[in-house]
Chains A and B, each alone.
Chain A
Amino acid sequence: MASAPRFPLVARGLTVRLGGHVALERIDFTLDGHSRIAVLGANGAGKSVLLRTLHGLIVPTEGEVLWAGSRARPTDQAMVFQRPVMLRRSALANIEYALAVNGVQGKERSRRAREAIDRVGLAALAGRAARVLSGGEQQRLALARAWSLRPRVIFLDEPTASLDPAAAGEIERVIGEIHASGTAIVITTHHLGLARRVADEIVFLHQGRLTEQSPADRFFTVPRSPEAARFLQGELPWTTTSPAS
């Protein structure tokens, strides 16, 4: 796939104020093309705001997001939301729509849409209306839609929230395949077990500030920041009893 260099993706001094509230404060971090980063933190820590800012949905109040040194938002990056919006058309047509608006036409569009829906295990439901699929199926369809665009990096905002363990397991499998296909992953989650399995690196946010960025093994064994340590102490017992962890 010939495309302009995208990495490193650098967030430099990112500050986001939303309605007078500081959602992110002077965030700095770097993502390379093979990264699998999990963004962790308590509710309201700024995880989703960070993802949206990196993706380009929120313009930072201060600071900048640089893709290989450029401020231009590249098109070969995608995001999957916690509650993805499906258009009132078939599952396959939802993927084809995303491809069409990104300039993929004709047989190539059909082929890529079929390939994507097949890879997430929804080929049998291709003709079914997307909005009547279950939550887990819709989330897999959203992953297929994003994946079909062949992004260099994919942002996943709590993709397994509200899903049962089986559906969450399927999502995890698809995330693994997406990464194996050469796409960098940035994921927010409250599910520490998932973060442990899918991420190589952890970014920890506390009240809008990045307090730690560590390799996943080190983060879960010897977190450097006291906020992360407290977070893990409060959450770890839950992850050890989770069926999906």
Chain B
Amino acid sequence: MQDIQASLSLALRLLAGGDRELWGIVALSLNVSIASAILACALGMPLGALVAVREFPGRRAVIVMLNALLGLPAVVVGLLVYLLLSRAGPLGGLGILFTPTAIVIAQTLLVLPIVAALSRQFVEDAWGEYREQLTSLGVSATHAVPTLLWDLRYSLLTVALAGFGRAASEVGAVMIVGGNIDGVTRVMTTAIALETSKGDLPLALALGAILIVLVIALNAAAYALREWSMKRHG
């Protein structure tokens, strides 16, 4: 118990003291996680919306697959990206293994199914309400996608947050493709794992605290934005 108290107090001192190493790790974590979430949203939201509104052969199989990919094992994604980016792999020539870019790629692949599956559900529910009206105005199902995504923007913010949360909390895949290199690819989760294994609990606790505070703050901001928008836009 005393160890935990001492660690917590040291963690607070590190946070308050502006420890460069700690804040460097935080900044990199935020950068790669935000980039992954943005990429996954840019690809996954239109994809999920198209699956929601279009009729095509195999649609049910695609929906089952999207839902199944929600449970995609992170280490498997990490391994696949590693094989793709390693020197002998098809994209080895890019030389981006063990760089933040590799982390972004792995996290995007992990987050994409979450964003696509949740977006599909949101859009499909809305399509039931909007379909006749938009069709009546002369809007095709495909052209309805941007309209629906924009109209559901505040609901989809929750999806984006879920994606960011998934990216920010990932360890296994990030460790495999990033290598947890100090000052280069060390992010909050991999640093926590490393420092814990070394017994350096203060840094691990400080990072853990920041991670939790960030996630809570983002969710609170999104909740407030959604409440405000519902009052304003109905």
Which residues of A approach B to under 8 Å, CB–CB?
52, 55, 57, 75, 78-79, 81, 84-89, 97-98, 101-102, 129-132, 145, 149
Contacts and interface: CB of A to CB of B under 8 A. Distances in A.
Given A81-B132, A87-B151, A101 B233 contact: no
B157 to A, nearest CB: 13
Contacts of A149: 137
A101 B132 contact: no
- Residue picked from B129, B153, B234, most chain A C-beta under 10 Å: B234
Contacts of B147: 87, 97
18 contacts: A52-B132, A57-B132, A78-B136, A81-B132, A81-B136, A85-B129, A85-B130, A88-B233, A88-B234, A89-B151, A89-B233, A101-B138, A101-B139, A101-B143, A102-B137, A102-B138, A129-B233, A131-B234
Contacts, number: 49
Interface in B145-187: 147, 150-151, 153
Interface string B104-140: 0000000000000000000000000110111111110
Contacts of A130: 234
B230 to A, nearest CB: 9
Contacts of B151: 87-89
Nearest to B129: A85
B231 to A, nearest CB: 8
Nearest to B136: A79
A84 B133 contact: yes
Contacts of A55: 136
Secondary structure at chain B's binding surface: helix, strand, loop or mixed?
helix
Contacts of A101: 137-139, 143
B232 interface: yes
Nearest to A133: B234
A191 to B, nearest CB: 22
B232 A129 contact: yes
Contacts of B137: 78, 97-98, 101-102, 145, 149
Contacts of A129: 232-234
Interface of B: 129-130, 132-139, 143, 147, 150-151, 153, 229, 232-234
* List of 7 A-B pairs having minimum Cβ-Cβ separation, nearest first: A131-B234, A85-B133, A88-B233, A132-B234, A129-B233, A79-B136, A88-B151
Contacts of B143: 101
Given A78-B137, A129-B234, 14 more contacts: A78-B136, A84-B133, A85-B129, A85-B130, A85-B134, A88-B153, A88-B234, A89-B151, A97-B147, A101-B139, A129-B233, A132-B234, A145-B137, A149-B137
A102 B132 CA distance: 16
A79 B139 CA distance: 13
A79 B79 CA distance: 55
B122 to A, nearest CB: 13
A22 to B, nearest CB: 21
B137 to A, nearest CB: 5
B234 A81 contact: no
Contacts of A79: 136
Nearest to B130: A85
Nearest to B229: A88
Contact of B133 (A75, A81, A88, A131): A81
A65 B126 CA distance: 30
Contacts of B130: 85
Given A87-B151, A88-B151, A101-B143, A131 B233 contact: yes
A75 B234 contact: no
A237 to B, nearest CB: 34
A78 B132 CA distance: 12
Nearest to A103: B138
Nearest to A142: B133
A84 B134 CA distance: 10
- Residue picked from B132, B133, B153, B229, most chain A C-beta under 10 Å: B133
Contacts of B132: 52, 57, 81, 85
B49 to A, nearest CB: 15
A78 B139 CA distance: 13
Contacts of A131: 233-234
A237 B8 CA distance: 79
Contact of A57 (B135, B153, B229): B135
